[in-house]
Each structure stands twice: as structure tokens, then as C-alpha cells.
Amino acid sequence: MLRKLNLVLLVPLLFCYLSVGLAFAQEEPEEQPVEEPFTIYTLGQQSLSISAGMFIPLFLQEFPLFGGATQDTKLKTRVAGSLQWGVHLSNNWMAGLEVGGIVTKDINDAPYYMLPITVKGSYIIHFFPFEFPIFVGTGMNIIKYSEDLTNLTWIVKPGFSSIWKYNINWGFGLNMVYWWVPEFWSDGKGRMGNFLEVTLTVQYNF
Amino acid sequence: MKLAKYTLWIIFSAILAFYLLGCERSPIFYNLEGVYPIEKDLGLTNNIAVFEIVGTGTKFFAAAGTLYARSSSNDNWQSVSSPVTGASCDTIEIFGGLLYAGFYKKDGTGLGLYRTNPATIDWTADPITAAEVQNKQIGMIKEVGGTLYVTTAEWNDTDKEFEYFLYSTADGDTYTPAVFDIAPTAPVTDIEDYVGAFTYWVIAGDDLYADTAANLNNLTLQNPVPALPALPVEPQTSSSFGGLLNSSVSPGLYLSAKDGRLWRYDGSDWTDTRTVTIDGTGVLFTRFIDDTRNNVVLVGTEGAGYYKIAPGLPEPLENAGVQRLPSPTTKGLYKSAINSFYIDVAPDPDILFACTYGSGLWREEYVDEDSRWYWKQE
């Protein structure tokens, strides 16, 4: 049921994003191309992004990484958001910091939150007027569940974005980020949380 | 400057390592795996106070202001007619195959003790005529060792205070008053038998009494006693006794208190836990039950679910063997006040009930396919 709901929400989101991107791309006057489209960024340029969208719980997995049994997360699809600051190291590479958050509930409506704080490295593929950053972030993740359980875990967030550059400063896009959250524990109680973030993003470069 | 930077990194790394190792915390994803939908399926309002539940083998009765009944085959709960229109009921017991219940009016006036055949429910067929329990405020009804004990509270207009009485009956018709060496200043809330220097133990507020005879004709105050120098002496609601249990799964007489302490009596000596606390405050322990399927003792609390006491603990009892349950994922029960438990050993597997104040009635059942127990709200 949740997977169906996710699909129903994802498809229109992707469709809207691509439609808008292509429509604006077609309307871009040919006589006003961005100068040097393939060297947009130089060392020291900065970028701020804000993202908001869906948090999709996928599954929990027992250790080891390969072959561990999987279980339903018992969490509902809800909202995710993040703020990111980055500094360009070259036209293609960017390093940054990201603070994110998700809010959801379990199947009995007990609240569940995650707040990851990560450092992030991105490689940006340019395909004017689009950019496709491929990135991975890692850091700490604060999890709060129900009213009484709080833990700090490690998190790894690989993903990619598709950004349509409205102009040299502004970009709009879509993020697809996989959240891998290992919770190490003794007595066979360790599990790996696997989640998906699908968010729309607004990016400002300066 | 460099030193400060390195120090900060070391501190940060140490904190991170501590959390990543998860030393003193509960694994959240593991807890999530154990979450089951809490079904609210048997028609009992979920936010009511349920004080007691008893079973006859084929029927359950629940005292929750209104008296409810349902069959043991999981039919919906139905209200049971009371002997007086609009009367409420907070205490019940099965004795001699009959259902005994204490009723009171909405304004608090006691209506006394009634009994009926639980199959037919006719409060007038076999009335109790003893003056001791007629038109009285009934506090507790409990069968111990073939004797029924009933407590009453009566307003003394001269002294402007309540007087508390405890009666015993072997036949349900004749009620014999217990004789206290020092009159209790709080209602008797529990009684239990256990063979030792004394046979019968009674708690009333922060007082512990004991007697050797079932008719309780010489109840003597036991606290403070030399073996229990730390027992509370002054009456304080936060430090009154909560419950008594003669445990069969972990032989001994258990005693709880509302200041985070648990005691165990082996017939000659008492031992106690260190204070069990949550955020520095003593847990308010209430009544016990023998969990016969897991061979542990359970004790309810006011506001913190319940605790499991490991069986056969060495003495003194250690906090390590006292574990809070259920999982926080059992929303509604985890932070509830548990008035009492009831275990029905007739079905296979057993069913454990928890009566809560404000969170309804819960039952714990076994899910064969998952090989685990979990709670449902009735």
C-alpha cells in the first residue's frame, strides 16, 4: 500500500519537474546564452540550497551488510527537508555541509524524527542548462523515537540531483538521496536503516 | 591554539564514539521491528480507568466505574446491570464461584457489598445481609487462601475523619473485623499470605501489619522493624506501599512501595532493592502478578508501565534484575498507571491483562507466527 502511494506521489513529481524544466529551457532565448556554460564555477564560489519533499522508509536490515535479513521499517512516508551550504573547489567539484531532518510516525502514530548533520562531497556533471551533481554525504544522525528513545548514529547519504539553471545564480531541481543509517548494537540488536529522500530543491550560487 | 583545536576534536570524537557504540541506550531500529499495530478491537473505551479484572473461566468481568463483562472467546465488552440504577463499581472478586462487587453512588455514597452468580447476574437472588458491609464504602475485595477479605471506609462525624476497617469471611455471609494493634490511618489496599514468622500480611498507606491467623484478630504493625530501618514511617502518598504478592514463580513475599523500592521476604529476613528511579525520581510501584508463562514477577507502576523482576534473584535484589517494560513502542501502556494485573491461565497460552488508569484495559497475547508476545488494547 505504501509503495503504491509512493509511486503515485513520485511519478507526478518527476513529471512536473521535467515538464517545467524543459518548458523553460525551450523558452530560453538563444541569443542570451550563459557565457562559458561549461565553466560556471571556480574555486571559492559558494552555494546555498534548501530542499523539501518526501521521506520514504524502505526497510531495516540485520547485520551483516550482505545477506542480513530485512524487515519493514513500520514507519510511514512523510516529509523531509534540508539546508546545504557548499563551496566550489572547481567547476566540477564541490564540498559542503548539510543539515537535514525528517518527521514521520510509526504505524501506531508514535513520532519519529531524524536529524542528520553531514559533510558532503559532490561531483557536478554539466549538461546545459542542467547540472547533475552526484554526491555522498556522511556524518552523524540524531534519531528520536516515541518520547523516550534518542540515539546518535552514523549516516551515509549517497545520491544525485538534477538541477535546472534558471540563470547563473539560481537553480531549481530534484534530489534523490539514499539514507543508510547503521545502528551498531550488541546482542544481535544492531540494524541498518534504509530510507529514500525525494525532495525539490532551490539553489543559489554566489 | 593548536592544542585547543586537537582537544576539541578529541572530545567530539569521544562523544561521537560513545553514541555510536550506543552504550546505555536502546536500539531504535530493533525496537521498531517489534512494533505491531495496537488493535482496539473489543469495544472498551480506550481512555477509561479500569481498576480490576477477574475471570470465571468462561467470562471476564472488569470494574471500571461501570461493571463490564465479556466471554473468554473475545466477544465485545458489555456493561453489566448494577443492583442500584446508576451505581458504579471499582472493585470485584470471585469467591466461592460467585461474583462479589462493591458499589457506590455517583456522589460517592457507599452502597455496600453485593454478590451474584456470574452466569446469570441477579444481585437480589442471594443478598449479603451483614451490617458490616451493607451500605458501606467498599475499598478492596480479595480472596486469600480460601478467605475473603473486604475493606470499608466509614466517616466518623465526631473526629471528622475516615475510619478504615478490614473484615474476613469464610462463607461470604458472616464478616469478622480484623483487630489492629494500631488503627490504620489509610485504607487497607492489599493483603497476602506467606508462611513465615507471620502468615498474613496487610498494607495500609505506609503501614505494614502482620498476623498469624486468617481472621486477623491480632494485626501488629511491622514497620519500622529492625530489619527494615529505611521503611517510610511518616504517611506520605509518594511513599506508601503499593502491593503484596506471595510469589509462586520466585518464592517469597514481595512488597512494593511508591518510592521506587521493592522488598522480598523469605520467611525470616527481608531484603530490598536499591531505589529504582526514572530521571532521579523513585518509581511509584503498585501491584504485582506472577507471570507464570515467563516465570517472572511483574509489578505495575503509576506512570511508567510495569517492571519485570528476574526470578530467583540473589539477595539483596539488584536493579539489574528489575527491568522496565513494555517497550516504548507500545504507546499508551509504556507510560500508563497500572492499577492491577490479572492472568488467565485457563487458555493455552495464558492471557495477561493490565488494568490502567486512563489508558483502558490491555491484554497480552501470543502471536504464533512471530513467536512473540505483544499487547493489544481491549
For residues B330 and A131, give the distance between their C-alpha atoms in angstroms, rounded to a whole number.
46
For A149, which of B21, B28, B335 is closest by C-beta distance? B28
Contact A60 B334 (CB under 8 A): no
Closest residue by Cα to residue A53 from A188, A205, A177, A162: A177
- Cell 554526491, residue? A135
Interface-testing mutation among A72, A115, A141, A149, with chain B (most B C-beta atoms within 10 A): A149
Whether the predicted model's global pTM rises above the 0.90 cut = no
Q: What is the pLDDT of residues A133-183, one digit of tens each?
A: 999 999 999 999 876 788 899 999 999 999 999 988 999 999 999 999 999
Domain that holds residue B210: 189-325
Number of Cβ atoms within 10 Å of the Cβ of B359:
23
- Name the least confident of B1-5, B293-297, B307-311: B1-5
For residue B257, which phi and psi values (nearest 5 degrees)? -140, 160
B127 in any annotated domain: no
Asked if B175 and B242 count as a contact pair (C-beta separation under 8 A), the reply is: no
Containing A14, the helix (H) or strand (E) segment is helix A2-27
**Is the Cα dihedral B195, B199, B200, B203 positive or negative?**
negative
In this prediction, residue B22 has a pLDDT band, given cuts at 50, 70 and 90, of very low
- Name the least confident of B133-137, B288-292, B301-305: B288-292
Query: What ranges in A28-167 are assigned the alpha helix state H?
Result: none
In terms of Cβ atoms closer than 10 Å to its own Cβ (0-12, 13-18, 19+), residue A122 is buried
- Name the least confident of A25-39, A49-63, A86-100: A25-39
B225 in any annotated domain: yes
Choice between B278 and B337, residue whose per-residue pLDDT is larger = B337
Asked if B30 and A184 count as a contact pair (C-beta separation under 8 A), the reply is: no
What is the DSSP annotation of B316-371?
S--GGGEEEES-TTSTTTTT-BEEEEEEE-SSSS-EEEEEEBSS-EEEEEEEGGGT
Asked if B169 and B151 count as a contact pair (C-beta separation under 8 A), the reply is: no
Contact A149 B22 (CB under 8 A): no
Domain residue spans in chain A? 2-28+47-205
Q: What is the pLDDT of residues B75-104, one digit of tens each?
A: 889 999 999 998 999 999 999 999 999 999
Q: What is the pLDDT of residues B161-201, one digit of tens each?
A: 899 999 999 999 999 999 999 899 899 999 999 877 678 99
With contacts defined as CB-CB under 8 Å, which chain A residues touch B328? 110, 145-149
Query: What proportions of chain A, in percent to the nearest 5, are helix, strand and coil?
Result: 15, 60, 25
Asked if B189 and B203 count as a contact pair (C-beta separation under 8 A), the reply is: yes
For residue B279, the chain A residue with the least C-alpha distance is A148
State the smallest CA–CA distance between residue A79 and chain B in angstroms. Answer: 19
Could you tell me the strand order of the sheet in which B241-247 lies?
Answer: B241-247, B252-257, B262-265, B270-272
For residues B272 and B274, give the distance between their C-alpha atoms in angstroms, rounded to a whole number.
7
Closest residue by Cα to residue B133 from B163, B92, B95, B174: B174
Interface-testing mutation among B32, B40, B377, with chain A (most A C-beta atoms within 10 A): B32
In this prediction, residue B6 has a pLDDT band, given cuts at 50, 70 and 90, of low
For residues B311 and B241, give the distance between their C-alpha atoms in angstroms, rounded to a whole number.
22
Contact A150 B25 (CB under 8 A): yes
Q: Please state which architecture CATH assigns to domain A2-28+47-205.
A: Beta Barrel (2.40)
Please tell me if residue A193 touches chain B, with a CB cutoff of 8 Å.
Answer: yes
Choice between B226 and B155, residue whose per-residue pLDDT is larger = B155
Whole-angstrom CA distances from A65 to A73, A149, B154, B324 are 17, 24, 68, 31
Q: What residues 13-52 of chain A have any CB closer than 8 A to a CB of chain B? A: none
For residue A153, which phi and psi values (nearest 5 degrees)? -130, 175
Three-state secondary structure call for residue A21: helix
In this prediction, residue B349 has a pLDDT band, given cuts at 50, 70 and 90, of low
Whole-angstrom CA distances from A91 to A45, A87, A125, B374 are 10, 11, 9, 56
State the smallest CA–CA distance between residue A152 and chain B in angstroms. Answer: 5
pLDDT of residue A37: 52
Instruction: Indicate the number of domains in chain B.
Output: 1
Give yes or no for residue B232 having a pLDDT over 50.
Answer: no
Choice between B310 and B11, residue whose per-residue pLDDT is larger = B310
Chain B residues in contact with chain A using a Cβ-Cβ cutoff of 8 Å: 16, 19-22, 25-33, 35, 37-38, 328-329, 331, 334-335
